Structure 1
Amino acid sequence: MMIFRNKEVKIITSTFIILFTIFVLCFMYMINNSISSINTIVIKQNIGAVGVIVKNHPELEEEIVKNYTADFKNNYEYGKEILNKYSYKEDLSTYKNLVFEKEYKKLYTISLAALAVFGLVFFTFIIMFLRNIFRKVRSFAESTDRIMEGSFNCELSDKEEGDFGLLSHQYNAMSERLKENMEQLKEDKLFLKRIITDISHQLKTPLASLTMYNDIMIRDVEMPFEEKYKFLQEGKNQLDRIDWLIKNLLKMAKLEGKIIEFNKEEKPIYDTIRKSIEPLELSASEKNILIKLSGDKDIRIKHDVNWTREAFSNIAKNCIEHSKLDGIVNISWESNNIFSQIVIEDNGLGISRKELPKIFERFYKGPNSSSPTNVGIGLYIAKAVVEGQEGSIYASSEEGRGTKFTITFINY
């Protein structure tokens, strides 16, 4: 019965019922007229027969009239025997009966005409209806051609009921999904191009330095060991920088490509913060910077330990780099029923209002950056990691008074 949810099937069915009903009524009317005509002819024939017989034999009037108005079976066999001599039998074909021949031809002709009209009308309706259906099919074909040519602005009307409406809806959904996939492919292509450009650009300087150091040592075979050691040490520094660059560029590429699945677990945030600053303790001690932690060690937050540690480490590293000698980097955290918040702040040089909106951009290095290894992707990675875990990060700063980073995770 699901086929009857289609408007087309409903229209065909209702039209057929209406036309068939009209045809049956007309046909019954014609049959009734034909039967009435035949009945009139039979009555006239009987009247003529009675008139002939009674005219010649008046004494038989009562018996003859009784035969036509009451019971004719008493004389049936005798009359049958007489008429058989003249080939007037019960099985006489209708079209051979001269009395009914005219009415028979008339009924036959009218019946054929009625059937022809009904068939023609219904056939015409079916053709017109099929034309409408094939017009919809052509619209699907034309839309498919436009999609294959790269044009996705060909939405079909899906407001009608039935399978065509469902097909149009699914077709529009498919078109929209193809459009999104094509746009995603374009974005992936641009992303790949941008990443290759970034890697090439960032590796160009250390590779050029390595090539220069190597060429100098090859040309000057009599170079003193102390000087050669200096070049080798510089080469090692450049190799370390390349290694650091490649690792961080790959991290950035994974985050931008959204191929990272964060493994969030409810763990103590203190442990993550403690591990994030361990690699920074040496650089902090060189500038005599105190890293101060304050917060409840038992607070647990649902987060990816490894990636969150990477984000905290990048933010703390940025604070250390922009802090003055004998400075302080404060890391505090707190939690309530709604959210958990981690604050990392320094009392260093600060960031101007003009530069503050740019600090989370890729490869952005502020005017106060003093580290030769800083390429401007640490804060970008930190932001991507926090937001990838449905958190938020916000920076506020005042020149000469330090910078404050606020990271918020919703508790759920």
Structure 2
Amino acid sequence: MTGQLNRELRPVRLAVPDLLTLGLTGLRARPLRAVLSALGIAIGIATMIVVTGIPASSQAALLGELTALGTNRLQAVAAPDRDPPAKLPESAVGMVRRIGPVTAVSAVANTHTVVRRNDRVEARNGSGLTVLASHLDLLSTIGARVRAGRWLNPVTATFPTVVLGSVAASRLGITDLPTGQPAPQVMISDRRFTVIGILAQTPLSPDIDRSVLVGWEAARSELRFDGHPTVIYLRCEESQLEAIRSVLAETISPERPGQVVVSRPSDALAAKRATEGSFSLLFLALAGVALLVGGIGVANTMVVSVLERRAEIGLRRALGATRGHIRSQFLTESVVLASLGGLVGTALGLLTTVGYASWQGWPLVVPAASVLVGVGGAVVIGVLAGVYPCVRAARLTPTQALAAA
């Protein structure tokens, strides 16, 4: 009989909707105080997202600019001053293309011919320009672009056509290719070649600026080119740059790797890696301080709420509410208050980051961890800030609470 009575008197657990209703009751009763307390949490969360999102966006923009400086590029040439002269194998480009981390590879070759504006210019006056046989994928590999006209294609690369580098065009007096007018021609080894394109300046490959580019097959048929590349350009995964550089010479010329000279990585790569490793700990510390202040504000609000609502606590205890019910009520109120501040702060931080990145023209980068930590951190702060007030409220007996009210 006693056991059955104890089971009947066992306190009922509060359902989640009931807990939320109780938790929101105190917030609705004092909205201004709740808003001010949540604002402290919101400022802290927004600060954390802003000080991680804006530097991350700025860093992404800077890394993009550094990548454009050729941080993932290498080039290989035949060693100079060799007797007999060193030559890269004809199969070198295909061999390099088989290296896994290589994303693009192309080549040019010196045809050892002279280019002239016309047949009236002295045969030996090449204006300091070089005639290069070129693969069709050269532009995408070195990051060059056409300023006027068009680049070589599988058809034009087999005919006597050329594309001029920016400096070569200036020296030959061909600065534009007007539409609807006959294309200009130049003389190469007493053969006329039609100019079909002019390249824009290529800062990372100044040798291309001073060159006249001919299709690989046209160079073979028209200029007696032997097919051996002079310079091999490649792009690869940055993380594998040093590894590729260490095996590139052996890959190009397995029998005579000493006859291959590989360029060293760009100085911009070191700057990029240093940028990737830097982060503003000061800003994160400031965000942490803001969160701490917000948490203290929530704790203060909850302590005052307990003092002001002692009559409510005493009445609920007298009507059968257990200490666990009281603890759950005030802990829920603290968590809800902090969570609202966290959601508002996350939205505010994201909007600020998006707006500033768009204004600066940066790519938008918001670390997912910042958003997760923002919302999750608000919940943790709510729990920590509500522990003492909820325990204090639960310790009040009905008589103490009603007597102090």
TM-score class normalised by the smaller sequence: under 0.3
Q: If the length of structure 2 is used for normalisation, what is the TM-score? A: 0.25
Q: If the length of structure 1 is used for normalisation, what is the TM-score? A: 0.25
Higher relative contact order (CA 8 A, sep 6+): 2
Structure with higher Rg: it is: 1
